Amino acid sequence: MSSLKILFAGTSKFAEYHLQKLIESKHNVISVFTQPGKRSGRGLKFTQSPVREMAFNNNIEIWQPEKISNKEVSIIKELNPDIIIVVSYGLLIPKEILSIPKLGCINVHPSLLPRWRGAAPIQRSIESGDTITGITIMMMNEKLDTGDIIYQEPHRIDSHKKAWELEKELMNLGGHILLLALESILNNKFVLYPQEHRLSTYAKKITKEESKIDWNMTAQEIHNKIMAFNSWPIAETTLSGERIRIYDSKYNENDIIGIPGNIKSYENNIEVFTKKGTLSILSLQKENSKVLGVKDFLNSNDLSGKKFN
């Protein structure tokens, strides 16, 4: 066997990149499973997943079930893939499907498992102040992100890394590592390593309700949240009753004490007191306005005597 018949299951932009790398490789993507299109945005415009668009543009058979049922099990048995590759799909793959391909089902996950199992590993790693993350290629089992590890590659997170930037870096890393892992599987030159389940952490799904900044947190914790929630849902606060979204910041580990949320400085920058240290806001956005750098924002907004809530 010189190449693999692949069934790919994925939905997000992260998954789309991995599908693209497979299409460009020597392997044969015979079919794609992705989630159904959804209505989103103010106009409730109907949009398809990035994976669906990539598959359509490359004339690959597409399946979009709302859930995996006996019908899909029969379809996959008929397709008879050598291997199933799952990347950010969003639906649970049942045990009946895992045993269909002779080389198993593998998953590309953007963390160093067992740390950050679950839906939002990139955002939660930044929010928690991790300095290292990475890509894990895992042999799937019926439980969430608990399968044996085929390969892991670490990747550093610097303190000013936004979630969308880290996602792009991990996409590039994951696409490269996936092809290496497939080569080792194809040549039966790989070893499975069980995860240390006692070290696991769970990356729960990000919600819009989490975007509100609590100024009683430390400056570093608030900064991490701002970085983690860019590009969605964007961390926010209120100023004189008006919603302010914060896109970029840096934290200052100083011993200056003030009331959390009070603005310490507003001449050349916006520096805010927190529980510990101060937070410098670098770019922000008022309701129904464009995102502004701090100097442009201060040119048109008087912050004297004001406080973030």
CA–CA distance, 254 with 1 (Å, rounded to integer): 61
* CA–CA separation, 186 and 213 (whole Å): 48
The Cα 201–Cα 55 span in angstroms is 33
237-288 residue pLDDT tens: 999 999 999 999 999 998 888 999 999 988 888 999 999 999 999 999 999 9
Q: Which domains, ranges and CATH numbers included, belong to the chain?
A: 5-203 (3.40.50.170), 208-300 (3.10.25.10)
Single-letter amino acid code for the residue at 28: N
What is the sign of the dihedral through the CA atoms of 183, 189, 194 and 195?
negative
Alpha carbon distance 208, 56 (integer Å): 31
Whole-number percent of the chain with pLDDT over 90? 90
* pLDDT tens-place string over residues 196-230: 999 999 999 999 999 999 999 999 999 999 999 99
In the chain, the percentage of residues whose pLDDT exceeds 70 is: 98
List, in sequence order, every residue forming a beta bridge with 263; answer none if it has no partner.
Answer: 272
**The Cα angle at residue 75 between residues 40 and 61, in degrees rounded to 5:** 55
Which helix (H) or strand (E) covers residue 78, if one does? helix 70-79
Residue 90 near residue 118 (C-beta atoms within 8 A):
no
pLDDT in tens, 34-78: 999 887 766 667 789 999 999 999 999 999 999 999 999 999 999
| pLDDT for residue 41 | 66
CA gap 254, 264 in Å, rounded: 13
pLDDT at 268: 83
- Residue 189 is encoded by which pair of tokens? 């030159």
Q: Is the pLDDT of residue 166 over 90?
A: yes
Would you say 251 and 220 are in contact if contact means Cβ atoms under 8 Å apart? Answer: yes
Helix (H/G/I), strand (E/B), else coil: 77: helix
pLDDT score recorded for residue 43: 66
Please name every residue paired with 280 in a beta bridge, in sequence order, or none if there are none: 250, 271
- On average, the pLDDT of the chain sits at 95
pLDDT of residue 143: 93
Q: What is the pTM of this model?
A: 0.95
| pLDDT exceeds cutoff 90 at 163 | yes
Alpha carbon distance 2, 229 (integer Å): 43
- CB contact set of 5 (below 8 Å; sequence gap of 6+): 27, 28, 30, 80, 81, 82, 83
Question: Is the CB of residue 137 less than 8 Å from the CB of residue 149?
Answer: yes
For the stretch 181-191, pLDDT in tens is: 999 999 999 99
How far does CA 304 lie from the centroid of its chain?
38
Question: What's the burial of 212, exposed, middle or buried (CB within 10 Å: 0-12/13-18/19+)?
Answer: middle
